[in-house]
Amino acid sequence: MADTMQISDDPIERNLKGPIEDVDPSEAILFESQAYHEVFRRLRREDPVHYTAKSAFGPYWSITKFQDIVTVDSNHKIFSSDRDIVIGDAPEDFETPMFISMDQPKHDVQRRAAQPAVAPTQLSELETLIRTRVCNILDSLPVGETFNWVDKVSIELTTQMLATLFDFPFEDRHLLPYWSDVTTTSETVGADADMAERARILGECLAYFTELWKDRAAKPRQFDFISLLAHDPETKDMINNPMELLGNMMLLIVGGNDTTRNSISGGVYFLNKNPDQYEKLKANPDLIPNMVSEIIRYQTPLAHMRRNALEDFELGGKTIKKGDKVVMWYASGNRDEDVIEDPDAFRVDRERARHHVSFGFGIHRCMGNRVAEMQLRILWEEILARFDRIEMMAEPTRVRSNFVTGYTHLPVRLHPKL
């Protein structure tokens, strides 16, 4: 009996060794402690389409295999994104509609309006600007001193990129990652949060973007997110729906921040934990684009996306009922042994490295994926040109969240090329 009590009281032990029906991969401590990989390995082996009857977020299904995730993500007519994309339900008194949590046709209309900001035709123009900013950031770093890579590089680079995509006042760019962190720090993803304070801060965010929207609407159309939405005939009236305006600004901030920011930190971490791969990369910098995809797979910056079943559906021998909450665990699909060879290994030269689920599938596939990849590629090109290695001085501090798999602190020291 004592052993049973010990297992039931420890969420990690319970998920790894308790009855399979009690496994609840939504517990944020699993992600902060990195135990989630073992938990998902167990689910993929024992119960890949898994029902958790009791959790902090209510009952839900866990989809843990690569192909099953593709099936759900690609079938938007049965698996709806309407209202919520994270495992927890947003408070009804602070609902923020955004196009990623909408179904067709409204989703398509709003996404299409914002898409030109990150279209392939824009990438060539952005590349020169990104490289200049990367060089300025890297050249300003203290060599031979320990510093927090997350603050000085990961956050700074993504913040500058976000400021460009929004044409946001550069002197206030620090507000963008701040608002992103407030958005993703929520009881709906298992993080501790003062929801009243969160609402207050996001109210300030809304006020700021409302003024920017009015300014852009009064000027000729440009290719930043706000101007595109303010001038599109289908979205220009969003200003009259403040919570929808806030929701879409939050979506674009988080989408432009978390994938790149945490992959920038993750790449440094993975190369330090796999020094043979670091040497392989230095010997052949042409591997950088491939390594970028491997970093995004291995990191899986957003651990899950949630859908709601619109009708009964058979998957993996189980019947998902109409109205059920369905959670696609991208963090599990990217380690699926049946699809990815030796998935727990980090390989800079992995074949088909882009064959991952980090960006999603179907109509909701990440629209800024090429911009994220480009930022990471340019960063590592310039890192290899300057530094022999980036030495990790201690283990990182991680975010407690079942949604964002991120870092708050990564102490490093730079070693210049001789």
Q: What's the whole-number mean pLDDT along residues 126-147?
A: 94
When mean pLDDT is compared across 6-10, 47-51, 406-410, the lowest value belongs to 6-10
pLDDT score of 193? 60
Q: Does the pLDDT value for residue 2 go beyond 70?
A: no
- Mean pLDDT within 117-142: 90
Q: State what percent of residues in the chain have pLDDT above 70.
A: 93
Give the tens place of pLDDT for each residue, 190-202.
Answer: 566 677 787 888 8
pLDDT at 389: 96
Residue 1: pLDDT band (50, 70, 90) is very low
pLDDT, residue 329, reads 98
Per-residue pLDDT of 372-381, as tens digits, reads 999 999 999 9
- With cut-offs at 50, 70 and 90, classify the pLDDT of residue 357: very high
pLDDT at 101 > cutoff 80: no
Under the banding of pLDDT at 50, 70 and 90, the label for residue 258 is confident
Question: What is the pLDDT at residue 6?
Answer: 46
- Mean pLDDT estimate for the chain: 90
Q: Which of the four pLDDT bands, split at 50, 70 and 90, describes residue 186?
A: low
Residues 212-257 pLDDT 10s: 999 999 999 998 999 999 999 999 999 999 988 988 888 888 877 7
Q: Is residue 330 over pLDDT 90?
A: yes
- Position 191 scores a pLDDT of 60
Residue 399, pLDDT above cutoff 80: yes
Q: What percent of the chain has pLDDT over 90?
A: 70
Confidence at residue 4, expressed as pLDDT on a 0 to 100 scale: 41
Asked whether the predicted pLDDT for residue 403 surpasses 60, the reply is yes
Judged by average pLDDT, the poorest of 61-75, 137-151, 172-186 is: 172-186
pLDDT at 197 (0 to 100): 82
Of 225, 410, 300, 265, which is closest to residue 66 (Cα–Cα)?
A: 300
- List, for residues 309-321, the tens digit of each pLDDT value: 999 999 999 999 9
Instruction: Report pLDDT digits (tens) over 150-180.
Output: 999 999 999 999 999 999 999 999 998 888 8
Q: How confident is the model at residue 95 (pLDDT cuts 50, 70, 90)?
A: low
- What pLDDT sits at residue 139? 97
pLDDT, residue 99, reads 66
In SS3 terms, the chain reads as CHHHHHHHHCHHHHHHHCCHHHCCCCCHHHHHCCCHHHHHHHHHHHCCEEEECCCCCCCEEEECCHHHHHHHHHCCCCEECCCCCCCCCCCHHHCCCCHHHCCCCHHHHHHHHHHHHHCHHHHHHHHHHHHHHHHHHHHCCCCCCCEEHHHHHHHHHHHHHHHHHHCCCHHHCCHHHHHHHHHHCCHHHCCCCCHHHHHHHHHHHHHHHHHHHHHHHCCCCCCCHHHHHHHCCCCHHHHHCHHHHHHHHHHHHHHHHHHHHHHHHHHHHHHHHCHHHHHHHHHCHHHHHHHHHHHHHHHCCECEEEEEECCCEEECCEEECCCCEEEEEHHHHCCCCCCCCCCCCCCCCCCCCCCCCCCCCHHHCCCCHHHHHHHHHHHHHHHHHHEEEEEECCCCEECCCCCECCEEECEEEEEECC
- CATH of range 45-416; options 3.30.450.20, 1.10.630.10, 3.40.50.150, 2.40.10.10: 1.10.630.10
124 confidence band (pLDDT: 50, 70, 90) = confident
Query: Residue 81 in contact with residue 101, Cβ under 8 Å?
Result: yes
- The CA-based diameter of the chain, rounded to the nearest angstrom, is 72
Confidence of residue 58 (pLDDT cuts 50, 70, 90): very high
Residues shown for the chain: 418
Q: Read off the pLDDT band of 5 (50, 70, 90).
A: very low
Task: Give pLDDT tens digits for 41-52.
Answer: 999 999 999 999
